[in-house]
Amino acid sequence: MRLLLRLALLGLVAVACGTAVLLLSANWLSSRAGVRIEGGSPNLSLPQRIYLQTWLGSRAEQLQQPAGLGDTAVSFTIAPGESAGVIAANLAQMGLLNDPELFLNYAHYYGLDSQLEAGTYLVDPRQTIPELAVALTQAPVNREVTVSFIPGWRLEQMADSLAVIRPGSIDPDEFLALAQRHTPYDLSRYNFLADLPPEATLEGYLYPDTYVLPVEATAVDLIDAMLTRFGEQVTLDIRQGMAAQGLSLREGVTLASIVQREAVLAEERPLIAGVFLNRLRQNSLLQADPTVQYALGRQPDGVWWKSPLSLDDLQFDSPYNTYLYAGLPPGPIANPPRDTLRAVAFPAQTDYFFFMADCDDTAVPGSHKFSVTFEEHLANVVQCQ
């Protein structure tokens, strides 16, 4: 009997020594890496505490590395009721977390996995996992989301951007369905859309700008804000200016969308608008590359605006192809800002009928060469070959 007691005592001592060795090893590894793995949640059992402290200690160096990829902070939303596992998977999907298992084990060891709060955060992928885990337990006081759209984007690019930043409750698929009018939406309160053809999308009318919305805002709220902003920006003088050019508002927006995609320099927009108006008055083909790019759509490499275009591309049969069909395309090809809309309403008075990218080494990047006759234009083309 006495022998059994001695053996049991020796077993307990061995377990205690083993546990101490494991904990000392974990502490040594973690302190060597500059991170202390100690304390932990009081809710952990002893085996859990030993396992996690040892496991985390062996990965202490990784805990000092950036949690994700890239160097740009991204808007990230935790929906109410989401588990730590779902949150980690969403972070990984957005490139904000390289090692979901390390994040989950660290959060569980310190009891942070049960404290992750719903809300929209600005997450920097350069944060370490300890910094990220703590940050996601502190719901931001700011209950707003910020969404920005670049002038000249088409609807799908706007939806792509929403899919990346995941702002609040705005669903990118719902946004695109509303914008393409696959989902019913009451447009009666926007007088500038009174003559919108039944089959037309909202391309051209979703004003490109920065929008600050409540975190609970939906895709419907964003569409409403963008259409409202369009109505504010397209002032009476712009509408009257377009009418003076012989254009309806829709035709003016369509031409402005082409000018936006063609003009790199803001100061050239009125001149490019003047060229296209000259061609329209002569019933000449506009021959605008962006209209073909719009018709071709997304390329296999994910690019929306294919460049350069091939000769076969210029023969792509679409009513948007202004190399094949005279006049304006059926509708806008992008969403232009106010300055470009004004360039169409108040274009430069010019005799130019042609323009092309200026290939001169001394030219301002993005500038164009303009010409009156086709012979002059052809000479410019030859110079750039």
pLDDT one-digit tens code per residue, 2-12:
545 454 444 44
Residue 203 — left, alpha, or beta (φ > 0 → left; ψ -120 to 50 → alpha)?
Answer: beta
- Report the pLDDT value the prediction gives residue 140, as an integer from 0 to 100: 66
**pLDDT of 337-380, one tens digit each?**
999 999 999 999 999 999 988 888 788 888 999 999 989 889 88
- Does 86 share its domain with 57? yes
Residues 286 and 310 in one domain: yes
Q: Are residues 62 and 95 in the same domain?
A: yes
Q: Is 312 exposed, middle or buried, given 0-12, 13-18 or 19+ CB atoms closer than 10 A?
A: exposed
**Which amino acid appears at position 20 of this protein?**
A
**Displacement of CA 336 from its chain's centroid (Å):** 17
Which of 185-188's residues contact partners 24+ apart within 8 Å by CB, and which partners? 185/220, 185/223, 187/227
Is residue 119 classed as helix, strand or coil in its secondary structure? strand
Of the candidates 175, 206, 233, which is a domain's last residue? 233
Higher per-residue pLDDT: 220 or 34:
220
pLDDT at 75: 83
Distance, CA of 205 to CA of 190 (rounded, Å): 10
Residues 261 and 334 in one domain: yes
* Chain mean position to CA 161: 2
Same domain, 226 and 261: no
pLDDT at 382 over 90: no
One domain, residues 32 and 75: yes
- Same domain flag for 261 and 226: no
Is the pLDDT at 181 greater than 80? The verdict is yes
Q: How many helices (H) does the chain have, and how many strands (E)? A: 15, 6
Q: Which helix (H) or strand (E) holds 155?
A: helix 155-165
Phi, psi of 210 (to 5 degrees): -100, 130
Cis peptide before 308 (omega within 30 of 0): yes
110 and 192 housed in the same domain: no
Predicted model pTM: 0.66
How is residue 340 written in tokens?
A: 């470009």
What does the buried/exposed string (b/e) look like for 151-184 if buried means 16 or more CB atoms within 10 Å of the residue's CB? bbbbbbbbbbbbeebbbbbbbbebbbbbbeeeee
**Helix, strand, or coil here: 102?**
helix
The reply to whether 198 falls in a domain is yes
Given this model, what pLDDT does residue 38 score? 65
**Of 233, 262, 286, which closes a domain?**
233
Is the pLDDT confidence value at 269 over 80?
A: yes
* Residue 93 is assigned to a structural domain of this protein: yes
Which two three-digit tokens encode residue 242? 């377009």
Based on the fold, state whether residues 96 and 157 are members of the same structural domain: no
In whole angstroms, give the CA distance from residue 118 to residue 210.
24
372: its two tokens: 């009156």
| Torsion over CA: 35, 36, 37, 42 (sign) | negative
Give the H/E segment covering residue 77: strand 74-78
Digit-coded pLDDT (tens) for 128-149: 999 999 999 987 665 788 999 9
- Claim to verify: residue 252 and residue 206 sit in the same structural domain: no
Average pLDDT of every residue of the chain: 88
pLDDT of residue 80: 86
Highest mean pLDDT among 44-53, 136-145, 224-233: 224-233
Query: Which structural domain range is residue 75 located in?
Result: 25-115
Identify the CA nearest to 117 among candidates 94, 96, 143.
143
d(CA 293, CA 152): 13
Contacts of 74 (CB under 8 A, 6+ apart): 94, 95, 96, 122, 123, 125, 164, 165
Q: What pLDDT is stored for residue 29 in this prediction?
A: 42
The confidence score (pLDDT) of residue 70 equals 87
pLDDT digits (tens, 9 = 90+) for 293-337: 999 999 999 999 999 999 999 999 999 999 999 999 999 999 999
Q: Which of 178, 206, 233 is where one domain is finished?
A: 233
- In this structure, is residue 281 part of a structural domain? yes
Task: Encode pLDDT of 186-226 as tens digits.
Answer: 999 999 999 899 999 999 999 999 999 988 899 999 999 99
Helix (H) or strand (E) holding 132: helix 129-135
Same domain, 251 and 342: yes
Note whether 226 and 264 are same-domain residues. Answer: no
- Confirm whether 362 is domain-assigned: no
Residue 300 lies in a domain: yes
User: How much is the average pLDDT of 74-79?
Assistant: 87
Specify if 212 maps to a domain. Answer: yes
| Residue 152: inside a domain | yes
Contact 334, 255 (CB under 8 A): no
* Confidence band, pLDDT 50/70/90 cuts, at residue 227: very high
Number of domains in the chain: 3
Residue that is written with structure tokens 């991204």 in the block: 74
Q: With cut-offs at 50, 70 and 90, classify the pLDDT of residue 21.
A: very low
Distances (CA, A) of 168 to 1, 10, 357: 69, 59, 41
pLDDT(277) > 90: yes
Percent of all residues in the chain with a pLDDT value above 70, rounded to a whole number? 89
Q: Residue 320: inside a domain, yes or no? A: yes
